[in-house]
Amino acid sequence: MNKAKVMFDPMQIIGFLILIAITFIMLSPLWFMVSTALKTTKEMLTFPPTWIPKTFAFSNFKTLFTNQDLKFGQQYTNSFIVAGLSVIGTAISSSLVAFGFSRYNTRLKSLFFMLLLSTMMLPYPAIMIPQFLLFRQLGLHDSLLPLILPAFFGSAYMIFLLRQFFYSLPNELFDAGRIDGCSEFRLFWNLTLPLSGPALATVSIFTFIWSWNDLLAPVLYLDSQEHFTLPIGMAAMLSSKFRIAPWNLLMAASILSVLPIITLFTFAQKRFVEGIVLTGIK
């Protein structure tokens, strides 16, 4: 038997080498973050900086939770509370509105939907001051509620995404449910939601990431350190209370802040990609 000859295309090899070089460049900030998080304060200040710590200071992660001035554990918990409740509120409110837009026909439905989509063109700074004044009049300033309550009133983008997915569900399923005596709410709760796992996963991931990384709203509403979320808490690490900017602690906090997003996307990746594909096709 003649052995098949393997032919190498020079351009293909060059392309792979370029991709490898780009990969190293893209991953270098991540590696530098991990490296800095494991350095002592003395090694952190050395120049030129070292890419591999001489001494691995895992105690930096312990310091984040034991240093009473940082209150990192409380801020971590606050971020989980805000992000988790925002996911629940957005999923419930947006899916209810999307179900109405996709399953009921009225004369003004198109007009209302156009008005809803038009709100996506409004940047957050345009409504920031009126919203701030509203929550201050309600006595909710310096609490987590202003960061959570807006999620329970729907999101225009999430409503649009879910509406497109709900349109893909066959009408025969809903007709059969009505014949069997299902109420409209049961059609939504027992029929629509169980079939909308990919779309709801997409909504949950987007909402969690946006809420988890939000800095502007916490800066606007929160004054007390015990109410800080991670973004504003990490920004406060660079305040004047530290004689030297604790970049090693800040990088350690950055690693811990990224872990929930990576974990969420890892477990929901299949549903997330499926939701994006199915919604985009429809």
pLDDT in tens, 80-138: 999 999 999 999 999 999 998 988 888 888 899 899 888 888 888 888 889 999 999 99
| Distance in angstroms (rounded) separating the CA atoms of residues 231 and 79 | 9
First to last CA, the chain: 52
The DSSP 8-state label assigned to residue 238 in this structure reads: T
What does residue 251 show for φ and ψ, rounded to 5 degrees?
-70, -35
Q: Nearest Cα to 168, choosing from 136, 198, 189? A: 198
pLDDT at 178 over 50: yes
The model's pTM: 0.82
Q: Give the number of other Cβ atoms within 10 Å of residue 98's Cβ.
A: 26
CA–CA distance, 262 with 201 (Å, rounded to integer): 14
